[in-house]
Structure formats: C-alpha cells, structure tokens
Structure 1
C-alpha cells in the first residue's frame, strides 16, 4: 500500500482491497496485521516532511527480513475519564486522549497508557520497529485541537507492552502500552500532524474502511462457501441433499446477494479514495458500517442452514461467529466513531447528498468533528426552517 517512490509496492486502493479479501478469507487476523502497517505509515506519507518519509517509510520498505512491523496507537483504556470514542469532544477534562507528549529541549517526554493498539508490541512484546502514536501535545486544548502523531522507535526506554487476550482475531496482537517519561526525538513528530492528530485518526479510518469492509466480505464468503458445501452433501435423512429444498436455497441465495453487494461497495470506496487523494472520511465510514453489520446476519443464516452441526468446532462456524461479533467493534467502532463521522459530514451546510453518486470530492474539516459528543440539550439550538420557508431539493 506504500508509494513506489519510497520503495513500496505502489498498489492502488482497489488492488489492495482485492488482495486483502483473499488474505482475510483465510485469516482475518493476519489481514489486520498487514492493514495496521498501513495505518502506522500512511500518515507519514500524507503529513511528513521529505526527510521523515525517507527515514520511516524507507526503513520499512528496505527491510529484507520480512519481519519489519509497524503499529498504530490511538485507543486508550476504558474508564472515567478514559476511552477514545470521544477523542474529538470539545471538553478539555474527562474527554478524549490522555497520553501526553511534553516538549523538553529537542525531545518529547511521553506519559500515559494506550489500550487495544495492534502490532505495537512487535513479535516479542518489546516493541514494533516503529509505532505511530497519537498524543496530546497541547495540554490546554480540547479534543479537536492539541493532538499530534509521533513515531516511537523500538528500544525506546520507558515503555512497556502487555498482551491483551482477545476472543477473536488472535493472530492480530493487541497490547496495552505504558509510557513512563519515555523520551522521543522532537524530529519524530510528523510535521503536518501537529495539532491535527484528530484529522489523522479520521483519515486513517477512512482509508481502512473498505479494508475492514472487505474483511467482512471475506469472512461471510468463507461461511457461505462452507454452508453451501454442506447443503450440497447433507441429506438430513431425506432423499436429496438439502440444497434442493426451498429454505436452504433461498437463505443461501440471500447471503450470496449480500456478499456481492458489499464487495462492490468496498471496491467503490477504494476507487473513491484513489480518485480523491486518499480522502473519503464519510464514504469509508459508511462502507465499514454497512459491510461489517452485514456479516453477522450472513454468518448466522449460514449456521441455520447447517443446523446444530455448526456448533461443532470442526465446522469453523464458531470462528466465523467470533469474527462477525468483532468486526463492527474494531477499527473505530461503528457506534461512536464511524457513524459520528457520517453524521458530522451530513449535517454540514454544504454537503451534497449526491456527491458519491457523481464521484465528487467531499471535504472533511474540524468543524465536522465532535458532533453529539456532549450529552444533553445545546444552548445554541439551530433554527429549524418551516415547511413554507425550507428550500426544496432540486431535481436534475
């Protein structure tokens, strides 16, 4: 996914999504590990200086061992205060990210904890080769300001990594990171992210939207193919395999239809990113939500076709079911981060509801962040136009 000029493969997003489906149909956890390499390095390409691009992206693409690993650390521990879903809330205290980076001479001193980041521990829990960490560099700023992204290199003192035991995608390593006065060179702060870490997060999850979406397609595809194979061989004591009966045939036909529709949505979203400078904050979120929530329904319908035998672990449906439960929750949860991004763009005065149909760019700005992050009534309620004064939507 990295640009050819810095030693990468230079694949388009469409190419990458097609390859990602094949990987994730076998092991979605490994697909996540590959994806997170991009989440850690793509912001360097977007926002870094030329020197930073050559130093960080170049070190990854020059590796010949096949072991170079990059992590992306945004998520923080749950609690009060804590968590990450409201990272763009306007409140200063009790909301958003709490890992701080204080400038001390020519170094940043990092303190705090991250929870859930993938790849960050590396292969041995002593740190990935590089970790992109979203930190609060402006302690007096709210969620939509004061965040930045800094590269932390393996071997940096003052950092510990602890594995999290997960119920799904166990081949994708998640960790808790503890920073205790960890010192990182100031030159590792990605230049264009200073005060724009919020935009880094939203742009990252726009790019990963169709990749997570195609992961859902891949898992649904595997469940569907297993259920179809079962239906074509299992008779249930009848004269013919159950595929010849109406219910299994109709249910599997519906599943196949949903898989195809979701696949094309991922291709559309990836192509949109290719066309619009890797910006697709709203469409990427829509794709991720739609495809991952399609997955659970597809997997369970396949299990209904197979019946109680789907509970037998040798049939693999337990794994598909765990993945189906996970995908809507990971990579920026569908509730909170993904749907809020869609809402934030949609409420903007200049939003064109036909933009994606017409392949037009949809800008994402700080003004679109933070919507609905503060509960309760607002003091500056917008004026609602009456039906008589509201401008009708033009037909063209």
Structure 2
C-alpha cells in the first residue's frame, strides 16, 4: 500500500512481478518491532529501532521486525516486495549508533525487493523465529533480522519525517478490509448460532430460539457494523468480539465440541485476534482517532444531519 500511495514512475520496475502475474510474488507492509510499536511516533521514546543508513546512492538496512504478514516470502528468504518502516540516518551522521533515540522527523518507508536481498551479503536476511499464531493460523509473520541489506536510495518511498504519516495512511486503507472481514465473521457466527437455536431445545419443550433473549442480542451488532465497515476497523472488530460471545451463549457448552458442525470454536479464535492485527486497535487505530479529535478544526457533528 505505501508503494501505491507514494510510488513514482521510477518505482514501476518494483511492481513488474505483480503486474506481469508471473509466479506468486508476495508483498508485505513491515512495521512492527520486537520491542513494540505502540509508541512508534513519540519523540520521547525509543520509537522505530530499525535503521536505514545512507551510504552514497545506497541505503543500508539494519534491525529486526516481527508480525509482518508474508514478509519472509514463500521460502523464508524475503518476500518479493517489503515496504519497511525505518529510522533514517543520513551520511552526515552515519556514525550514529543503532541505539540512538528515534525522532519523528527521521522515519521513512523503504521498498525492499527480493532481488535486493539476493544481491546483499550472505546472512543479510534471517528468519529468527516462527510463531504458532492464535486464531489466524494460515499466516506467516516471523521475527526477522535484517543486517546489511543494501537498496538503492531511489527506493525511499518518502522523505525523512514522512514515514509515520505514510504508514498511517496505509493502515487507514486496510481498515476497510478489516472492517468488512469483521462483519463477515459476525455473519458466520450469527448464522451458526441461529441454526442451532432453531433446531435444539436443550431438553425443553420448544427450540431455545423461542425462549431466550439470545435471539435478538447478537443480531443487534450487525446492521451498524455493516455500514461502518467502509470507515472503521475499530468498531467492527470490537463489535465482532461482543457478537461472538453472544453467539457462544446461545449455543452453550456445545461450542466446546469441534465436531458438532457449529464451527463457533474456530470463529471465536479468529474473532479474538481481529482487534490485534493489521494495525492493533490500541497501538495504531485508536491513536488515529485520538489524533483526529485533537485537531483544532475537529467537528464532532460534521457528518450528522
């Protein structure tokens, strides 16, 4: 997404593997770091630790990243394209150490291709650890170490100081996808719980749908979330967590049985991680809302009738 947002004609060659539709190239937005990125924009904290050091017409990358979906590629030697957030160190201060404080005016996003990694010294890109992720199991977001990977300076996607803004824009675009995903998960949860409530009486005289309040509670989250899927990940993902709990209440202990055909157990796991990935609600998404509300020209009722 950063390349789509800020890409220049000179970056066209980076997209060729995707445009030609040859093979199965992977792309990744690489932002999170092992020490956490909830305070990535603060001038008082450590912020982004990974560095992009200027050396003539080249950028030399050092640091570790984590949780970035697809970043290691199919064979764990790097994806076809990685857009990576870095702390820029110009050649005039190349002696600065990797532990130097990060400031908001040095962050950049660099496009790193698989060819860049291949052309770098052996061991420049290493997968340190894979994770058994909870909920979304069909994904790879390992801990990787980048040490001495060299990329042309022309692959900087923004000027120093614009990296956090660009990353924020990319997460804003993906919020639509995550909101829609949350609505889809809620619909699957609701369909499963509704079918169960219609057919099962739990030892009573009538199906539980005619007896318990569950028939309306979980459905109440769906209509507003469907509309807001176009605008926000936060509301939809957190609504999905509330909805799946209501659906579990409707199905009761049967949720435990993975062989029951309900599928709620799996959906619970998926739902619980929706607020965490692709820009966590606490570290990224709610900060976006906070920034918006802190603006001097913020109009709380600007979108109302």
Q: TM-score, normalised by structure 2?
A: 0.88
Is the counterpart of residue 150 in structure 1 residue 95 in structure 2? no
Instruction: Say how many residue pairs are matched.
Output: 287
**Equivalent residue for 2:21, pick from 36, 48, 63:** 63
| CA distances 1:282-324 after superposition (whole Å, capped 9, x unpaired) | xxxxx21111111111111111111101011233222221122
Shift of the alpha carbon at 1:163?
2.1
Tell me if structure 1 keeps the 8 A contact 2:217–2:246: no
Gap regions ≥5 residues in structure 2: 90-95
Shift of the alpha carbon at 1:160?
1.1
CA distance in 2, matches of 1:357, 1:144: 34
Shift of the alpha carbon at 1:357?
3.7
**Equivalent residue for 1:169, pick from 123, 136, 143:** 136
3-state SS of 2:52 partner: strand
CA distance in 2, matches of 1:143, 1:226: 49
Shift of the alpha carbon at 1:258?
0.8
3-state SS of 2:142 partner: strand
**1:346-361 maps to which residues of 2 (within 5 A)?**
346-357=293-304
Gap regions ≥5 residues in structure 1: 1-41, 270-286, 359-396
CA distance in 2, matches of 1:241, 1:77: 50
3-state SS of 1:200 partner: helix
| Residue number in structure 2 paired with 1:46 | 5
| Residue number in structure 1 paired with 2:188 | 222
Is the counterpart of residue 256 in structure 1 residue 219 in structure 2? yes
Tell me if structure 2 keeps the 8 A contact 1:147–1:197: yes
**1:1-396 maps to which residues of 2 (within 5 A)?**
42-52=1-11, 54-65=12-23, 67-78=24-35, 83-91=36-44, 94-138=45-89, 142-155=102-115, 156=117, 157=120, 158-161=124-127, 162-190=129-157, 192-245=158-211, 247=212, 250-267=213-230, 269=231, 287-314=232-259, 315-357=262-304
CA distance in 2, matches of 1:98, 1:181: 15
3-state SS of 1:302 partner: helix
| Residue number in structure 1 paired with 2:93 | none
Tell me if structure 1 keeps the 8 A contact 2:86–2:108: yes
Superposition RMSD in Å: 1.9
CA distance in 1, matches of 2:198, 2:287: 43
CA distance in 1, matches of 2:103, 2:289: 18
Q: TM-score, normalised by structure 1?
A: 0.69
Shift of the alpha carbon at 1:134?
0.8
| Residue number in structure 2 paired with 1:376 | none
| Residue number in structure 2 paired with 1:29 | none
Shift of the alpha carbon at 1:193?
4.5
Tell me if structure 2 keeps the 8 A contact 1:112–1:179: yes
